[in-house]
Amino acid sequence: ARTCIALAAAALFSSAAQAAPLTATEMLNQFNMVVTGNVNSTSHVDGRSYVGGNVSGGDYVQHVRDTPASAYAGLTVGGNLSNNVHVNGLGAVVGGNVNGVNVNSGASYVGGSATSSSFNGDAWVNGSAQNVNFNGAGHAASYINTNNNRPLNAPTPVMNGALAASTSTDFSSLMTGLSSQLSSMQATAGTSVAFSNNDSNVLFSGTGVNGVLVFDLTALDSKIFSSRTTDISFNLTNATTVIFNTNDKTLNLSANFNQAQSLGSKLIWNFAGADTSVTVGRTFGGQALVADGTFSNIGGANVEGGVFAKTLNQYG
């Protein structure tokens, strides 16, 4: 994925400052979604996104003012971006082509061509532009039916900064390393997972140590992530960061997270063994880390947190 963007942007790197790679903590803080492969979406992401492969569909950076500062654009895509995509703010960096894309604000760089798209901030299209509106200052190798009247002679410093950031971090290695680090953490003493109502209700309980609480679910993940589970609740005392470690290859969950919104920023679900898939059918609370697999939210299920995965199918 990094190579894809680097090839498209190679001619510009001589003038673009090199950005420092992110740490795992910085990744979790700055991004709402990181996917090293492809994304298929019919829904939205509230904050910043990075995708190493192609993106089809979706609405990105819905809450511009709530998105933390970063050297990265609002949406960074290594491959192609297409299929009625909206980027509401903070601009975009795309290594390949764009088709059917609307960037409402922020500077954008496109390494390939652009068709049937609009850029409401400054934009640089490295290839041709057909049926494209440049509503800020713009550049394209050729213009067909555009309203650009303020051409750019070179990418702006803002574009170059976001472009440099786009190749600065090996997110695949970063997520894999984070997953391994979390898996090595010992379960916090006194944690419990209680089942009731014929195993349909699950209650996670524990007291944080210096704010951290770790659950080892490797012997329980298939029971928790099953069709029988309908409700998940939490009793987390003094915990600001809660880690759940699992190791099953394939997991499916259709349970209600009763405190998804209030706890979403505190929970990290480390699906360390899920090199196949994790699928959720109801609102999910927390950061879903699926470093080597596919995460899918189906049936209109929201994720109150973030997604960090190899592939994403987003239908909620």
Query: What is the predicted pLDDT for the residue at 300?
Result: 87
Query: What is the predicted pLDDT for the residue at 141?
Result: 82
Which residues of the chain, if any, have pLDDT below 70? 1-18, 143-149
Query: What is the predicted pLDDT for the residue at 12?
Result: 29
236-268 residue pLDDT tens: 999 999 999 999 999 999 999 999 989 999 999
Query: What is the predicted pLDDT for the residue at 315?
Result: 93
Residue 30 identity (one-letter amino acid): Q
pTM: 0.92
- 252 φψ region: left (φ > 0), alpha (ψ -120 to 50), beta (else): beta
Query: What is the predicted pLDDT for the residue at 2?
Result: 28
Distance CA 279, CA 294 (A): 8
